[in-house]
Amino acid sequence: MRHARRRIVRRVTRLAAVGGLLLGGAMVTQAAMASETPPAAVRALAAPTGTGDTGAALVARLGTARTAGSWIGADGRPVVAVTDDAAARAVRGAGVVAKVVAHSMDELKSATAALRSAPRVAGTAWAVDYRTNRVMVSADSTVSRDDWSRMSHLTAKIGDFVRMERTKGTFTTRLNGAQPILSTGGRCSAGFNVTDGQSAFILTAGHCGPAGSTWFADSQGNQQLGQTVSSTFPGNDFSLVKYASGTAGDGADVVAIGGGNGVRITGAADAQVGQRVFRSGSTSGLHDGTVTALNATVNYPEGTVTGLIQTNVCAEPGDSGGPLFSDGIALGVTSGGSGDCTAGGTTFFQPVTKAMTALNVKLIVSAQSAAAQNARNAQNSGGTAQSTAPSPAATQAAIAPSAVSPGSAAPVSGGPNETLLARLTDTRNIGPGLLVIAGSLIALVATRYIRAEQDRKAYQRYYSATWG
């Protein structure tokens, strides 16, 4: 009976080992086939010539005297603010929601112009709130009682559609993602990879450092990343850091969101009020919120910056320069704001389309994304769009970063924390298949060895009994 049980155990073990060999072989074959797919080259992508946004297109057609901006409603439909019934009928005829308001965009812009012409008060900011048809003026905790009183008198003269409000914290740049980049001036976050057709650069915030600043990927200063070759701040807030190697390397179209994951960037566009957006930074990681206003002006202690995207996404020191995106579309780089990611706050972003136009660079995206976007641009403009490639780089497989899915996500690999065990057990390569095969072979050899030992001992017992 005991011998029968042993035979059954050996047979089950051999069958399991053979099954393991077959499974491991299938896993290796599948991984090998996946790896044979040619890696897509990274292409350069300019800011789109037309966004295809119906609301924005209607505003442009009707003009700023009859409209007051557009935004995305709570139901996801575009809404256009209009000042007369004829304009409202034209908007509704295009299948878009119309909201009749009292003040046109021309009046709202006139109000912001009056605010800009007044003496500058550090710690204040203003932007047009399309949804309430107002100009909102914010003052942080550093604004004195006298300055608040003076600003209040000024807004009252402009009109009752200009409102004053106090905000928590202070309006500061977020110097100190998107991966961290460090210099003697502090720590910032890398934004998006761009190219001029010959070299690759990091597009980040201008206040992070003047031209000539040297950046490193580590706090010891051993891994030189590059050098700032162009910087604009205040007025605007963007700069270019040229890679020391001249290329951005693999995964140039991916921005980090933490946990070893990233989001693949497929294009660039202008933000829209009401749009859900995501921001990544080297200090606070990934956070989301909505765009609350456009063309915002902020009076930082270092100077005034205009034309910014205003959001309710939080940010903290060190997040400066980090990317703002939505559904894989680049929108802006972090400029500054108030509050933090514990209490919340307001954050402002430099639009990437404006920065890329001023710097004459293009966004680096995958070849497939570039082809699709250029085809859309060509269709919008009625012509043909072309792009050039600075260097080839492998695109990465899409995975879900977590419960949050801001866009197509890909793993950010090659970091210092990636161990040999992690690579061997990564189901995207042949490591797990080889481990299964090795384990099955060991099981087979072990069963053969045990069977041989048992036969040898049985023969010895038989020989001893016969010739003893």
- Catalytic residue chosen out of the listed positions 183, 320, 326, 338: 320
Distance CA 446, CA 52 (A): 66
User: Which amino acid does the sequence have at 34?
Assistant: A
Let me know how long the chain is.
468
297 and 159 Cβ atoms separated by less than 8 Å: no
Q: Is 237 a catalytic residue?
A: yes
Q: Is 110 a catalytic residue?
A: no
- Catalytic residue chosen out of the listed positions 140, 207, 253, 335: 207
Convert the chain into a string of H (helix), E (strand) and C (coil). Answer: CHHHHHHHHHHHHHHHHHHHHHHHHHHHHHHHHHHCCCCCCEEEECCCCCCCCHHHHHHHHHCCCCEEEEEECCCCCEEEEECCHHHHHHHHHCCCEEEECCCCHHHHHHHHHHHHHCCCCCCEEEEEECCCCEEEEEECCCCCHHHHHHHHHHHHHHCCCEEEEECCCCCEECCCCCCEEEECCEEEECCEEEECCCCEEEEECHHHCCCCCEEECCCCCCCEEEEEEEEECCECCEEEEEECCCCCCCCCCEEEEECCEEEECCEECCCCECCEEEEEECCCEEEEEEEEEEEEEEEECCEEEEEEEEECCCCCCCCCCCEEEECCEEEEEEEEEEEECCCEEEEEEEEHHHHHHHHCCEEEEEHHHHHHHHHHHHHHHCCCCCCCCCCCCCCCCCCCCCCCCCCCEEECCCCCCCCHHHHHCCCCCCHHHHHHHHHHHHHHHHHHHHHHHHHHHHHHHHHHHHHC
Q: Is 144 a catalytic residue?
A: no
Question: Which position has the token pair 């004195």?
Answer: 144
Distance CA 162, CA 151 (A): 11
Question: Which position has the token pair 């990636």?
Answer: 418
- Catalytic residue chosen out of the listed positions 129, 140, 237, 253: 237
Distance CA 209, CA 216 (A): 13
Active site residues: 207, 237, 320
